[in-house]
Amino acid sequence: MKFIHRVILGAVLIVFVLSCSKAPITGRSQLIMVNESEEMQLGLQSAKKILSSQKLSHDPVKNSIVQRVGKRIASIAGKPNTNGSFML
């Protein structure tokens, strides 16, 4: 029984190590559970769900701040041309 547990633990560790990659900006190791296209798809699905149940702000000052911060985050993350939306 202990042998089976060790084999399973070893397999899990191997998968974990192989799933890690380096973050391009920080150089730190990170665990990637979904690829970039899956991440975008999840974001779009979440945005649709939120937009169907929440009201958007029409305050131009607050929206300007959110846009500016969102664009800065995208730029720092190395994705300045991301077609993301930043809404409040």
pLDDT at 33: 72
Alpha helices in the chain (DSSP H): 2-19, 36-53, 60-76
- Residue 38 belongs to what domain range? 2-76
**Position 51 in a domain:** yes
Residue 6, class by beta-carbon neighbours within 10 Å (0-12 exposed, 13-18 middle, 19+ buried)? exposed
Residue 66, class by beta-carbon neighbours within 10 Å (0-12 exposed, 13-18 middle, 19+ buried)? middle
**Position 87 in a domain:** no
Whether pTM > 0.75 for this model: the answer is no
Q: Which two tokens stand for residue 21?
A: 């990659």
The string of pLDDT tens digits covering residues 1-11 is 677 777 787 77
**Position 35 in a domain:** yes
Q: How many domains does the chain have?
A: 1
